[in-house]
Structure 1
Amino acid sequence: MCLAIPAEVVAVHDDGENATISLDGVKKDISLALVEGVKPGDYVLVHVGYALNVVSREEAEATLALMAEYEATEAAQ
């Protein structure tokens, strides 16, 4: 099973093919080769260094909250 994680785009590089994302303050450069029209402030699903899709802020926040809840549950066991 593969997992794509939602992350906020903080910058789109001048080439338009790459961007910098931020997830919990960790920044990483990713490829935008599979999506179009991404701009800073958008949320994208990221898998192995590629943005797969643009998602709403609400969807991204809900997914991240579920992931944090799962992590907390696993840590408590």
Structure 2
Amino acid sequence: MALADNGSFANDGSNAAVATIGGSGVGGNNTGNSSTTQQQAVGSGASNQNTSAQVSGSAFTAIDQSDHSVDVNFTPFFW
């Protein structure tokens, strides 16, 4: 089983990873045009999820790019 710092996990032979953007300048005070994107897919048969945000001329912006998708399919631990 693989584990990543964000608590994600994967079955044997797979990978678990985390993608993080910190200090990108999109959240908070935006007097110009700001954008950010995060995207990741790892391992055989991996599917990809990504989030994007763009702000133009906003005095203050709060952006939540969290993803709460859950899909776990493991076989039972019986030998």
User: Normalising by the residue count of structure 2, what TM-score does the alignment of the two structures yield?
Assistant: 0.23
Looking at secondary structure, tell me which structure has more helix per residue: 1
TM normalised by structure 1 equals: 0.24
Q: Point out the structure with max Rg over C-alpha.
A: 2
Structure with the higher strand share, 1 or 2:
1
Greater RCO, CA 8 A, separation 6+: 1
